Amino acid sequence: MQFFTLYLYQAPLVLQIFPKGEKPHGLVFCLVAVAALLLVLAVHELGHLVAGLLQGFRFQLFVVGPLGVTRSGDKIVVYFNRNLGYMGGVAATTPVTDDPQNQRKFALTVAAGPIASFLLAATGLLLFNLLPPGIGRGFWLLVTACSAGICLATTLPTKTGMFFTDRARFFRLLDRGDTGKREAAMLSLMAIYTRDNSCRHIDPEKARLLQDDPEPSMRFWGLYYEYYFYKENLREDAAAESRARLLDAKSAVPATLWKALNIE
């Protein structure tokens, strides 16, 4: 929210850098503003994505505005994104081995987004100062302001809905206490599920560890993995009990995510 507020505040300032009588056509200005916004979001999410891939993680999802790219089995599919919750950008990579170094690797992946935004803001400021007055200079002013804004917004120690900011997640991953143990458990569960495309061989104790987390979204994932562990191992009574608890926790995640999980 802070990022979009800053974006709307800065957009009219672009008009002030044009010489008198040379203001851009309204449609041109809107196109430039949209292009700047999409570039800022794309660079931030690409920072996460590229860092994850360099750590050996598997690509899962990349969305910026209407553009969506996702993994479907062994295929990469490009689609038109209609999910408003993802319009602001999202990228996901997952570990494929249950490696003790996954916490450190994932922390680097998380940090790469704000770093990419900072570098884009610095580049935009340089180009803004080098270019003569005109539409190009206005474009880079918007890019600089918005990229700096998203860098600031993602380094606040808070949450946005069910999602941690990059800074909050970074410090959770590096925590040496119970929080860090729960993050390690989450990455272990993700890695085994990604490797096997199944929860049959996960450690249910790690799923239960997540259920002790103060954050509702983490408790939800603990219940989710526990349910599918029991279900895939044909432990029907335990699966039914876990499913009932999972249904009680569905408010911890967005309705679109709940629908996408297609919980049986």
Q: What confidence tens digit (pLDDT) does each residue in 96-128 have?
A: 999 999 999 999 999 999 999 999 999 999 999
What pLDDT is stored for residue 2 in this prediction?
Answer: 44
Q: Point out which residues pair with 64 in neighbouring strands.
A: 67
pLDDT tens digit string along 15-46? Answer: 455 555 456 566 777 888 899 999 999 999 99
| 48: enclosing H helix or E strand | helix 26-54
3-state secondary structure of 71: strand
Q: In the chain, pLDDT over 90 holds for what percent of residues?
A: 73
CB 154 within 8 A of CB 165: yes
Measure the CA–CA gap between 113 and 226, rounded to whole angstroms: 31
Measure the CA–CA gap between 239 and 219, rounded to whole angstroms: 16
User: Does the reported pTM lie above 0.95?
Assistant: no
What pLDDT is stored for residue 18 in this prediction?
Answer: 53
b/e map 31-63, b = 16+ CB within 10 Å: ebbeebbebbbbbbbbbbbebbeebebbbbbbb
Q: How confident is the model at residue 6 (pLDDT cuts 50, 70, 90)?
A: very low
Residue 78 phi, psi dihedral angles, 5° rounding: -100, 135
What pLDDT is stored for residue 20 in this prediction?
Answer: 52
pLDDT tens digit string along 204-233? Answer: 999 999 999 999 999 999 999 999 999 999
* 261: nearest Cα among 223, 214, 211, 204: 223
What is the domain partition of the chain in residue ranges? 2-158+165-169, 175-254
pLDDT tens digit string along 43-98? Answer: 999 999 999 999 999 999 999 999 999 999 889 999 999 988 889 999 999 999 99
